[in-house]
Structure 1
Amino acid sequence: MTLPLAGQTIAVTRPPEQATRLTAAIASAGGAVISFPLLDIQALPDLSDFHQAITPLSQFDWAIFISSNAVQHGMPLLQQAGLPATLQFAAIGPTTAASLRSFGIAQVLTPQDRFDSEALLALEAFQAMQGQRVLIVRGVGGREVLADTLKQRGAEVVFGECYRRVNPQSNAQVLAQAYNQGQLHGIVVTSSEALRFLLDLAQDAAWLQATPVFVNHARIAEQASAAGLTAYCSGVSGDDAMLDLLQRQLA
């Protein structure tokens, strides 16, 4: 029996520690993987701004986490500060919610279908925000739509920035070489920032224009299409959905 990804080589741009399950799944389906991480998550060397932002923690009604990285870097600091019983938790998606549960947070508000700021803002709990104070735990920078919309609805919003995202690659030569050897059939990109880093490295290279990218969110697909790339979107997060997308498009 021919495996669905036999003869296909796929570059995975997630950090290696976050890509082990997908890499194994691609290999089990007969594919080969080029590990090309485009994001390195680093703790901030100075967390004094974070500690100042969250003090006192009892001032907040909500703590919203925008990624599992935000949970891993932020929750230990919040626990050190002492979690008030009244603090409510929200997560951008199920992976982030699962990370919160690993820290003992049983009740986590999460969107059900689409996992982004817009879906979170559509939840009933975030409609009338007058007098509410919200802590958004995230990396340095990022989209402002969540904070801006909550402020428009009457909330006071504070950012707790506890990590940064950097590009560990200095060039994309390994991908260009693989393409020229007929050994690059797709690139998995699961964050807008990783796609920006890829575009910066490759510029307008013909090999990137000719290689489909496989993404997990419509916003990333739109960003890729705007740059002239062919993008296929799973529409949901998770390794199973990404593997299914790869198999449907590349088999």
Structure 2
Amino acid sequence: MSRVLVTRPAGQGEALAARLRAAGHEPLLVPALRIEPLPLSGDHRRRLLDLDLYHAVFFVSANAARHALDAMADLWPQWPVGLHWLAVGESTAAEIRRAGLAPEYPRSGFNSEAVLALPCLADVAGKRILICRGDGGRDWLAARLRERDATVDVIPFYRRLPAPDRHCPDDIDTVMITSVEGWRALAGRIPARARVIAAGERVAAAVAADHAGPVVTAASAHDTDMLAALPG
């Protein structure tokens, strides 16, 4: 049995912790980040009022879907029809379903590259795409869609801040990191001997630059992939 630090934001790590416990590990939930909603600017509000003019809306995370859909519901008593509601993975798709909408998302990969391969994004020339994300998020997908001659709008709905009570016990065996921001919040607090499981190559590269101990790259931030990267 190993002690595993789960660093997802508050309220978002319980499912992973339950799976770790069922697999014989001892999970410890210590959020690295806290999520703070951002107010809508006048320009962003106007874009949401034009929601029915978009071809697709992409939510980069469950946090993005939760905060964006709440903001949209305040402006749209009935959802516009004909839009593609895109998610990066199952947890984000679940938030879309809770709003009564049908999500489209990759069944593997769980990243922007996999989302770009969705059929509804194959021919987007002249179409409008809305990306809902956190402040300072990755611009890769927006750049690729613009290369395909789409008009892309990006609205940040929240920001991630270091959690005030973040810490890492000295006797922890493994730390699970799902974002570069989460790593930055914890870097320097993790014992050098601890194994770090990083969600994807970009996060793993950020961890490896600062951490002297072993770094394992999970296929994605999906719970199944994070669990699969943990040695038995």
TM-score of the superposed pair, with normalisation by structure 1: 0.81
Partner of 2:16 in structure 1? 22
Q: Whose helix fraction is larger, Structure 1's or Structure 2's?
A: 1
1:237, CA displacement in angstroms?
A: 4.2
Name the CA shift for 1:20/1:153 in 2 (closer, same or farther; >3 Å): same
Partner of 1:197 in structure 2? 185
- Of residues 150, 175, 187, the one that matches 1:187 is 175
Partner of 2:96 in structure 1? 100
Distance (whole Å) between structure 1 residues aligned to residue 163 and residue 211 of structure 2: 24
1:158, CA displacement in angstroms?
A: 0.8
Task: Pick which of 77-86 and 133-142 moved more.
Answer: 77-86
User: 1:14 aligns to what SS in structure 2?
Assistant: coil
Name the CA shift for 1:164/1:49 in 2 (closer, same or farther; >3 Å): farther
Query: What one-letter code is carried by the residue in structure 1 that aligns with 2:62?
Result: S
1:125, CA displacement in angstroms?
A: 2.5
Consecutive unaligned residues of structure 2, counting only runs of 5 or more, are none
1:48, CA displacement in angstroms?
A: 3.8
Name the CA shift for 1:243/1:112 in 2 (closer, same or farther; >3 Å): closer
TM-score of the superposed pair, with normalisation by structure 2: 0.87
Partner of 2:108 in structure 1? 113
Percent of pairs identical after alignment?
31
Partner of 1:34 in structure 2? 28
Partner of 2:136 in structure 1? 141
Distance (whole Å) between structure 2 residues aligned to residue 37 and residue 78 of structure 1: 28
8 Å CA contact 2:84–2:120 kept in 1: the answer is no
Partner of 1:224 in structure 2? 207
Structure number with greater Rg is 1
Q: How many residues align?
A: 229
CA RMSD of aligned residues (A): 2.3
Distance (whole Å) between structure 2 residues aligned to residue 242 and residue 78 of structure 1: 32
Q: Whose strand fraction is larger, Structure 1's or Structure 2's?
A: 2
Q: How big is each residue's C-alpha offset from its partner over 1:107-149, in whole Å with a ceiling of 9 and x where there is no partner?
A: x221222011111112333233211001111111111011111
User: 1:16 aligns to what SS in structure 2?
Assistant: coil
